[in-house]
A and B are shown apart, each in its own frame.
Chain A
């Protein structure tokens, strides 16, 4: 599905490379010399305490902010100077932290908006919408207005909407904020089935909830005061003494 953007050769480029990126705001360095790489099939967690730079890093990746130094490479292509909508067209999808569905549109219209921008997706659009409706289990509510959905359902609708853009990279900014425990688990199941179906090439999940990160991530990057403090598997990171001091320790 993603072959048009991500190379089809035997050694495809990483889905996302953040190369030595720095970003300051009025003298405050929010992100300092951060590098990370997302390989095909990877589910990466991004954690860190408040003010660690998680949000700024996300903004730099999807283009709301431009880096002062360094580069963002997406599917082998430099995108550092592209505005968000062009990065989205290349296959980057973001689920906002604040629920961002279109309240006055129906569930189906919300999804149709996701399916529209690319001609490739427009073909067989209705079938794709039906498929996603099944995946996010909103088939019975397809003609409801989005405002009538529960909080969890709105989050899933937004995930469904961005999936219809047929993305290579799915960025999820605190996807379980405000969710009940059951809704969080349901979201984790949804993300796992996306991976099984190879619906997206890679995912990056920003979360406060470590329990959720454990459920959905193979690898974790820990940010602390704008820099990468540690990276590795969930177990490795949890055993890291620096991380325990800086982040996990404080939660315990």
Chain B
């Protein structure tokens, strides 16, 4: 963890720092998926919905000049996180409660539908979402006097700090008694229910937590990028994050971070050089790693250690 976070400080490369700042947000995004899928066993195809819509909400609230708008960034950010958490809460009630109680592939299909629908909505949203072009963040956003999303070490410092905080909080959660319940649910949900736990309530809470984490990362990511467009809420990004988590090792905390940051970095550095073959190489490496280590790189290391 320290190695990843400290890289640009050693290399004194401001461009690398800025780039890594973005990838750290991908790392946080991957951790949000790891929480629901890696630990809770809920395979989600729609995590970008939370990541992307949070960006949109910040855009809607800070860019347009109508009525009480624009709001300052420090108001828009928590509003965006709350909005996607609310969306997740609604989804949680819809899919986990009552006799419906979707799980496994059924949950995956619902989240996939959510991502597809989101992308359509973002495209068709007219002035509200900016249609295909999305929303451009014109104003200089940040915390006045403290921090702006300009290309410098500030952004990198912010996201590195956030990544470490999210990592530590999740670590603490996973090792806590409630985290133990979540790990149990990931392995055998019926057994957990028949010990007297309200599995639907636990899953709902975790989905909300995970969406808030994804939303925080997504809001910062798009403000830094200066634009949010329909791809941000869609299936492609939702799938990409699954690859990061699978490759790094779901059910470990360091794995998804390394998967997200590592693959994004490789992609940024190598895709320019090997334009045509890059995607092919990524695909082959992914298949090879997943066949050789189904638990992901760090999942494999973790297992071999505990066998001793």
Contacts and interface: CB of A to CB of B under 8 A. Distances in A.
B191 interface: yes
A209 B177 CA distance: 38
Contact of A162 (B181, B195, B197, B306): B195
Q: Which 4 pairs, one residue from A and one from B, show the smallest C-beta to C-beta distance?
A: A117-B196, A88-B196, A100-B191, A89-B196
A85 B198 CA distance: 6
B293 to A, nearest CB: 16
Interface string A95-106: 010001111110
Interface in A71-112: 83-85, 88-89, 93-94, 96, 100-105, 109, 112
B183 A104 contact: yes
A113 interface: yes
A88 B187 contact: no
A165 B177 contact: no
B225 interface: no
Contact of B190 (A96, A112, A161): A96
Given A105-B180, A116-B181, A145-B306, A85 B193 contact: yes
Q: Which one of B177, B184, B196 has the highest number of Cβ atoms from chain A below 10 Å of its Cβ?
A: B196
A145 B193 CA distance: 21
A62 interface: yes
A113 B192 CA distance: 8
Interface in B147-195: 177, 180-181, 183-184, 187-188, 190-195
Contacts of B190: 84, 96, 100
B181 A85 contact: no
Given A112-B180, A113-B180, A102 B194 contact: no
- Give chain A's interface residue range (CB within 8 Å of chain B): 20 to 34
Contacts of A162: 194-195
A103 B199 contact: no
Contacts of A93: 194
A62 B193 CA distance: 11
Nearest to A143: B306
22 contacts: A83-B193, A84-B190, A84-B193, A84-B194, A85-B197, A88-B195, A94-B194, A96-B190, A96-B191, A96-B194, A101-B188, A103-B187, A105-B180, A105-B187, A112-B177, A112-B180, A113-B180, A113-B192, A114-B195, A116-B181, A116-B195, A117-B197
Nearest to B188: A100
A141 interface: no
Scoring B181, B193, B251 by chain A CB atoms within 10 A of each residue's CB, the highest score goes to: B193
A113 B194 contact: no
A123 interface: no
Contact of B187 (A94, A104, A117): A104
B37 to A, nearest CB: 15
A164 B130 CA distance: 57
Nearest to A93: B194
Interface string A179-197: 0000000000000000000
Contacts of A83: 193
A85 B199 contact: yes
Given A102-B183, A105-B180, A113 B188 contact: no
B146 to A, nearest CB: 42
Nearest to A162: B195
B242 to A, nearest CB: 20
Given A102-B184, A103-B187, A104-B183, 9 more contacts: A62-B194, A85-B193, A88-B194, A104-B187, A112-B180, A116-B195, A116-B197, A158-B191, A165-B196
B184 A113 contact: yes
Contacts of A102: 183-184, 187-188, 191
A231 to B, nearest CB: 26
Given A102-B188, A112-B177, A145-B306, A88 B193 contact: yes
Contacts of B251: 104
Contacts of B198: 85
Contacts of B196: 85, 88-89, 117-118, 165
